[in-house]
């Protein structure tokens, strides 16, 4: 608690901020809520039920110098972006719930701030002690003080009237803003010029008022003039009712004491929050609200906090928090979601028992009193005494208390029946230290669970020996009864026994149970749940299905789950080490449909009013839902409940704002479409999302368009750093959620671009690619020339060798055969020989001639196969010349089209096909004329060999060749090998035609090869 400051310090501080703008007297958020109420009863009907929550259920968080807060906070305001603005002696300070920001721009004077107001457009107006006024619009401060006196008189207040006109009060008088010029109001408008006006504000009917500590003036409707008035009208507007008509009472008297202070102090000392409750600064922080009383009447009551904090300013933010401003800093009063019932000092380490009338019994397991709690209040049962091992209710609604006294002689069982209790001794050999709990036995009677076994109480007596001896011998870890009258007993290492009328049934890890040490079983409306040390599972038939681990919204796994409750709407609540976890019905359904998924839970903890950590007692129930759907929870620091039908939620989504941007550790202003220099290696973007209730739970997701492919979970971190970004345009997106998981409707974005270095520009890359291509072509052409040279050398050597062989065969063998042919020819014509001899010589002549022709053909083939140059016609002509030298036929060779460069392998096959066609024509057609025609077409090469001879016989043409001869067959095979078309047919007049069509892609050299040859020509010409 802050030390109480001296009265004179407080007086000086109040004098410095004697009055503020509408935000400081009647805040903009508050003014819209001011509804006149002539009587207390009519006011009562509009008051939110939350206004009656006890002040003990408010979390109080101080922000002082240790948390970075400024001192001498005069007043507070909140802009639509969610930031809380502090008017201080240090100037203007901005607060997002986490950090205080002081350096807010060059357009903001650094002097002590004295007044603050937020207008209807969301702009922030700030007045200063030296008489200046600044406005923050679109994130930038600018001074608007032309026309104001420059004598250092304090700006006391700033306000906007119903017509949108801006007004300001100072030590010299009253001013209104005309365009960009402040004009003073004189005698002609009803107010005294030169007077000290410390107050200005709006009434609930939209009229403007100005005042000092003695007089009040009200604006005349529709004019810029004023008339005198009564301060009581201000109070009727501010309070929502006429306090002068209320009967005396403690709350009314205290309220009147505050109101009757000087107006400049009293107006600042009262504020109304979103629930309709009045907060006031009296001797302490006080809250006034209406409650019902017997007879249907309503009365004003007051609650007090036990500290005053020397506050002299109140403010209610849009999330429902109440803030106090003081000389030491600020404090936040936030309503908790849980309402505390008892603290650990009253009910230490308690257990919960449901009564027969749906009341809740709170039974401490240490030296505390037992309480019976109903909707009307609580009753302490002193007659039951103190110190119990546990308590439970049976199927008849009786409550059984297991006494565990410091003196074992006093240990017994105390049974509450119909408002009275009776005593029952423990079984022989047991005392309060050995017993755990007692439950209704499915077989009849009651079952006492102890460390020594299970004992049955039936028909008014204990059975002498333990029952269900086939259960595990080790001590149980917990026991529960369900709504069907069954008993569940938990053992270590994933073992659970269920006892029904037929006896016990064991479940273990072999049945799918995987929760570590099971701590509790809850049979809900839809599922039977088992919870334990490491997770939860539900029973599906005869097997358990694990849904562990349960994941919190921050990604952490939920551990140490003591109890579970499934509500009628299918939601699951868990009492766990981290707090009370809530898993919605839709989330449970999602996990059941996709077993590989893990449930995500919302966790409520001490920040939500939960009292302390987990109580590790598995034999007492730590969580119950009563008939009013209040969830009761026992924790180490006490007992609390939360209304499941009215769980408070923060309905205000946080708005993301960008706070800074650093490029390579150099701070930059966060301007739209920023341009960063080339070779920027590191970019850090700071952002925040003001959420004032529980700012520690605000979560962020970020995405950098142009870099990230999906949203990234940033958790609670309020900055993102990217390294090694390349040049280009980027768009940084941020979204935020508040403590209840409500995400903002619109993502915040910040665009920036990184300029490219010269070697990262498109033209540099284009040049680099062009140079690389030229170098590649250069290397490729050199390699091609090397291969060409090597191939040419190989072909030249082979050609020379074949030429030598052909020449020697021609000069030796062929000349000898030719001479032999002439000799045999002369013998075959010698008439002196017998006719039979001449016939033999004739046959020898024919055989020699055939040998000569065959040998010549082979020599020609040998010579021509060594070199197939680009001039196909030249090669064909040589073949025709050599054949014409042997046969009597003549030939004609023609061509059509521009000669093209031919592929060597394809040209060789074409030449061989042409050779065979020409040889057949000369040798077998007996033609007088043989024609060879070559056409270079766009679709390919065409060759026609025709004669005017006897023509190929029909049977040979049909059979595709003559038996034992392979000329035509070989031609067809060669054509097929290169994908050409070959047709052999009889001529239209006479003779035979050989038609060959070779596709262009097969016979012609590809364009790329032409380019290579072109480069070679250019290189040789230009020498590069």
Q: Which of 596, 590, 538 is nearest to 564 (CA)?
A: 538
Number of Cβ within a 10 Å radius of residue 94: 22
Q: 182-191, 251-260, 375-384: lowest mean pLDDT where?
A: 182-191
* Residue 891, helix vs strand vs coil: strand
When pLDDT is cut at 50, 70 and 90, the band that residue 1013 belongs to is: low
- Residue-wise over 436-447: b if at least 16 C-beta within 10 A, else e? bbbbbbbbebbb
Residues contacting 316, CB < 8 A, separation 6+: 27, 29, 30, 271, 272, 273, 274, 279, 322, 323
Q: Which helix (H) or strand (E) element contains residue 838? A: helix 835-864
Helix (H, G, I), strand (E, B) or coil at 478: strand
Given a contact cutoff of 8 angstroms between Cβ atoms, the answer to whether 557 and 551 are in contact is: yes
Give the confidence band of 197 by pLDDT, cuts at 50, 70, 90. Answer: low
Residue bearing the bigger pLDDT, 957 or 927: 927
In terms of phi and psi (left: phi > 0; alpha: psi -120 to 50; beta: otherwise), the region of 130 is alpha
Residue among 148, 156, 232 nearest 183 (CA) = 148
Query: How far from each other are the two terminal CA atoms of the chain, in whole angstroms?
Result: 90
Confidence at 955, pLDDT banded by 50, 70, 90: confident
Phi, psi of 487 (to 5 degrees): -115, 130
Give residue 749's pLDDT band: very low, low, confident or very high (50, 70, 90): very high
Predicted local confidence at residue 25, as pLDDT:
35
What mean pLDDT do residues 435-442 have?
A: 93
- pLDDT confidence of residue 950: 86
Question: Angle at CA 828, nearest 5°, toward 827 and 831?
Answer: 85
What is the Cα–Cα distance from 794 to 791, expressed in whole angstroms?
5
Distance (Å, whole) CA 220 – CA 309: 40
Q: What is the rounded distance in angstroms from the CA atom of residue 95 to the CA atom of residue 61?
A: 14
Distance CA 926, CA 905 (A): 32
Q: What integer pLDDT is reported at residue 343 of this predicted model?
A: 86
The upper half-sphere exposure of residue 76, i.e. CA atoms within 13 Å in the direction of its Cβ, equals 30
* pLDDT at residue 7 is higher than 50: no
Residues contacting residue 90 through CB under 8 Å, at least 6 positions apart: 70, 71, 72, 102, 112
Strand partners, 540: 543
Residue 388 has pLDDT above 50, yes or no: yes
Confidence of residue 10 (pLDDT cuts 50, 70, 90): very low
pLDDT for residue 290 is more than 90:
no
Is 5's pLDDT higher than 80? no
pLDDT in tens, 351-381: 999 988 889 999 998 778 899 998 888 899 8
The predicted-structure confidence for 12-39, as pLDDT tens digits, reads as follows 344 433 333 333 333 333 322 222 222 3
Secondary structure in 3-state letters for 214-266: CCEEEECCCCCCEEECCHHHHHHHHHCCCHHHCCCCHHHHHHHHHHCCCHHHH
* Residues 272-299, mean pLDDT to the nearest whole number: 80
Q: How far apart are CA 451 and CA 559, in angstroms?
A: 26
Residue 235, CA distances (Å) to 37, 241, 270, 757, 903 in order = 11, 8, 10, 68, 107
pLDDT digits (tens, 9 = 90+) for 654-686: 999 999 899 998 888 766 778 899 999 899 999
Q: What is the pTM of this model?
A: 0.73
Contact 518, 478 (CB under 8 A): yes
State pLDDT tens for residues 589-601.
Answer: 999 988 888 999 9
Q: Higher confidence at residue 589 or residue 863?
A: 589
Burial of 531-560, coded b for 16+ CB within 10 Å and e otherwise, reads bbbbbbbbbeeeebbbbbebebbeeeebbb
Predicted confidence (pLDDT) at residue 307 exceeds the cutoff of 80 = no
Confidence at 192, pLDDT banded by 50, 70, 90: low
Three-state secondary structure of 917-969: HHHHHHHHCCCCEEEEEEEECCCEEEEEEEECCCCCCHHHHHHCCCCCCCHHH
Mean pLDDT for 961-990 is 81
For residue range 61-111, what is the model confidence (pLDDT) as tens digits?
999 999 999 999 988 999 999 999 999 988 899 999 999 998 887 667 767
Rounded to whole angstroms, the Cα distance separating 454 from 358 reads 29
pLDDT of the residue at 34: 25
User: Element (H or E) spanning 73, and its range?
Assistant: strand 73-78
Burial class (CB within 10 angstroms; exposed 0-12, middle 13-18, buried 19+) of 867: middle
Residue 838 burial (10 A CB sphere; 0-12, 13-18, 19+)? middle
Give the model's pLDDT for residue 270.
87
Q: Which residues of 657-696 are buried (b: 16+ CB within 10 A; e: fewer)?
A: bbeebebeeeeeebeeebebeeebeebbbbbbbbbbbbbe
Number of other CB atoms surrounding residue 802 within 10 Å:
18
Instruction: With both helix axes pointing from N to C terminus, report the angle between 835-864 and 904-924 in degrees, rounded to the nearest 10.
Output: 160
Q: In what order do the strands lie in the sheet with 166-170?
A: 155-160, 166-170, 174-178, 181-184
Would you state the pLDDT for residue 299?
A: 84
Which stretch of 49-58, 279-288, 693-702, 839-848 has the lowest confidence by average pLDDT?
49-58
Percent of the chain residues topping a pLDDT of 70: 87
What is residue 527's predicted lDDT score, i.e. its pLDDT? 93
Q: Are 74 and 313 in contact (CB under 8 A)?
A: yes
Q: What is the pLDDT of residue 3?
A: 40
Burial class for 946, CB neighbours closer than 10 Å (0-12, 13-18, 19+): buried
Q: What percent of the chain has pLDDT over 90?
A: 42
Average pLDDT of the chain is 84
For residue 382, the model assigns a pLDDT of 86
CA distance 87 to 57: 29
* Integer angstrom CA distances of residue 979 from 134, 796, 870, 944, 976: 89, 29, 20, 17, 5
Residue 708 burial class via C-beta count within 10 angstroms: exposed 0-12, middle 13-18, buried 19 and up: middle
Q: Say if strands 339-343 and 350-354 run parallel, antiparallel, or are unpaired.
A: unpaired
DSSP 865: T
Q: Which of 105-114, 232-241, 479-488 has the lowest mean pLDDT?
A: 105-114
Q: Is the peptide bond before 276 cis (omega within 30 degrees of 0)?
A: no
The string of DSSP letters for 967-988 reads: HHHHHHHHHHHTT-EEEEEE-S
Q: What is the DSSP letter of 621?
A: B
């Amino acid at each position: 608690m802050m030390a109480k400051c001296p009265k004179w310090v407080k007086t000086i501080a109040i004098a410095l901020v004697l009055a503020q703008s509408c935000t400081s007297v009647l805040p903009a958020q508050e003014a819209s809520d001011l509804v006149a109420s002539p009587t207390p009863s009519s006011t009562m009907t509009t008051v939110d039920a939350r206004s009656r929550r006890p002040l003990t259920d408010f979390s109080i968080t101080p922000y002082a110098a240790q948390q970075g807060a400024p001192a001498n906070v005069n007043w507070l305001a909140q802009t639509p972006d969610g930031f809380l603005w502090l008017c201080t002696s240090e100037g203007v300070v901005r607060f997002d719930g986490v950090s205080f920001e002081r350096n807010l721009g060059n357009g903001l004077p650094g002097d002590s701030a004295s007044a603050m107001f937020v207008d209807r457009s969301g702009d922030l107006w700030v007045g200063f002690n030296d008489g200046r006024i600044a406005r923050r619009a679109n994130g930038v401060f600018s001074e608007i003080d032309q026309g104001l006196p420059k004598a250092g008189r304090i700006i006391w207040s700033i306000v906007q009237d119903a017509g949108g006109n801006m007004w300001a009060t100072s030590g010299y008088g009253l001013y209104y803003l005309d365009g960009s010029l402040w004009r003073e109001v004189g005698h002609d408008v009803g107010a005294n010029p030169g007077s000290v006006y410390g107050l200005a504000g709006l009434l609930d009917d939209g009229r403007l008022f100005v005042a000092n500590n003695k007089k009040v003036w009200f604006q005349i409707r529709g004019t810029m003039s004023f008339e005198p008035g009564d301060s009581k009208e201000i109070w009727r507007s501010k309070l929502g009712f006429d306090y002068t008509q209320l009967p005396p009472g403690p709350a009314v008297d205290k309220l009147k004491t505050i109101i009757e202070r000087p107006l400049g102090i009293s107006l600042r000392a009262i504020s109304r929050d979103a629930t309709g409750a009045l907060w006031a600064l009296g001797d302490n922080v006080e809250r006034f609200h209406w409650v019902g009383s017997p007879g249907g009447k309503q009365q004003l009551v007051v609650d007090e906090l036990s500290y005053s904090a020397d506050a002299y300013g109140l403010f209610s933010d849009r999330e429902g928090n109440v803030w106090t401003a003081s000389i030491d800093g600020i404090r936040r009063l936030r309503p908790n979601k849980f309402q505390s019932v008892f603290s650990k000092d009253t009910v230490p380490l308690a257990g919960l028992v449901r009564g027969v009338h749906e009341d809740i019994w709170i039974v401490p397991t240490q030296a505390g009193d037992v309480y019976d709690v109903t909707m009307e209040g609580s009753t302490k049962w002193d007659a039951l005494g103190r110190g119990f091992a546990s308590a439970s209710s049976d199927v008849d609604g009786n409550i059984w208390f297991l006494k565990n006294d410091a003196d074992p002689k006093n240990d017994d069982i105390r049974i509450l029946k119909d408002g009275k209790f009776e005593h029952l001794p423990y079984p022989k050999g047991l005392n309060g230290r050995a017993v755990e709990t007692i439950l209704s036995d499915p077989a009849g009677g009651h079952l006492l669970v102890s460390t020594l076994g299970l004992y049955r109480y039936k028909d008014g007596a204990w059975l002498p020996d333990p029952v269900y001896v086939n259960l595990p011998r080790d001590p149980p870890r917990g026991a529960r009864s369900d709504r069907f009258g069954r008993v569940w007993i938990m053992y270590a290492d994933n073992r659970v026994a269920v006892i029904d009328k037929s006896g016990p049934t064991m479940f273990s890890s072999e049945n799918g149970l995987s929760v570590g040490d099971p701590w509790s079983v809850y049979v809900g409306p839809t599922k039977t749940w088992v919870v334990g040390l490491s997770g939860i599972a539900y029973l599906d038939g005869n097997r358990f299905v694990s849904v562990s681990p349960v994941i919190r919204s921050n990604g952490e796994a939920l551990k140490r789950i003591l109890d579970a409750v499934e509500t009628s709407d299918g939601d699951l609540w868990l009492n766990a080490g981290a707090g009370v976890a809530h898993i919605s019905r839709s989330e449970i359904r999602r996990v059941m449909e996709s077993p590989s998924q893990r449930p995500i839970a919302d966790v409520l903890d001490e920040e939500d009013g939960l009292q302390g950590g987990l109580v590790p007692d598995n034999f007492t129930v730590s969580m119950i839902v009563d008939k009013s759907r209040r969830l009761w929870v026992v924790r180490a620091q006490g007992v609390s409940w939360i209304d499941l039908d009215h769980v408070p939620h923060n309905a205000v989504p946080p708005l993301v704002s960008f706070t800074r941007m650093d490029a390579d550790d150099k701070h930059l202003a966060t301007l739209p479409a920023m341009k960063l220099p080339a070779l920027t290696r590191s970019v850090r973007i700071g952002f925040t999302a003001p959420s004032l209730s529980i700012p520690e739970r605000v979560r962020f997701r970020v995405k950098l368009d142009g870099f990230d492919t999906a949203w990234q979970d940033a958790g609670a971190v309020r900055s993102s750093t990217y390294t090694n970004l390349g040049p280009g345009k980027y768009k940084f997106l941020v979204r935020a959620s508040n403590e209840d998981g409500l995400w903002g409707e619109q993502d915040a974005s910040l665009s920036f671009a990184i300029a490219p270095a010269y070697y990262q520009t498109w033209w540099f890359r284009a040049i680099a690619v062009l140079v690389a291509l030229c170098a590649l072509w250069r290397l490729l052409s050199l390699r091609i020339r090397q291969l060409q040279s090597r191939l040419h050398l190989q072909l030249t050597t082979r050609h020379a060798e074949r030429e030598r062989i052909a020449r020697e065969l021609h000069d030796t063998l062929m000349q000898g055969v030719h001479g032999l042919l002439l000799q045999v020819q002369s013998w075959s014509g010698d008439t002196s020989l017998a006719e039979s001899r001449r016939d033999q010589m004739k046959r020898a002549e024919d055989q020699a001639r055939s040998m000569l022709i065959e040998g010549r053909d082979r020599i020609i083939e040998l010579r021509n196969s060594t070199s197939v140059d680009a001039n196909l016609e030249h090669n064909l002509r040589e073949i025709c010349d050599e054949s014409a030298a042997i046969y009597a036929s003549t030939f004609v060779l023609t061509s059509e089209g521009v000669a093209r460069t031919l592929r060597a392998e394809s040209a060789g096959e074409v030449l061989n096909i042409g050779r065979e066609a020409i040889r057949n024509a000369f040798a077998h057609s007996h033609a007088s004329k043989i024609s060879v025609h070559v056409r270079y077409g766009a679709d390919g090469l065409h060759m026609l060999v025709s004669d005017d001879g006897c023509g190929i016989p029909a049977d040979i043409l049909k059979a595709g060749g003559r038996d034992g001869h392979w000329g035509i067959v070989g031609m067809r095979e060669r054509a097929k090998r290169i994908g050409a078309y070959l047709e052999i047919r009889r001529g239209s007049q006479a003779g035979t035609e050989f038609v060959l069509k070779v596709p262009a892609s097969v016979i012609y050299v590809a364009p790329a090869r032409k380019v290579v040859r072109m480069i070679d020509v250019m290189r040789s010409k230009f020498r590069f």
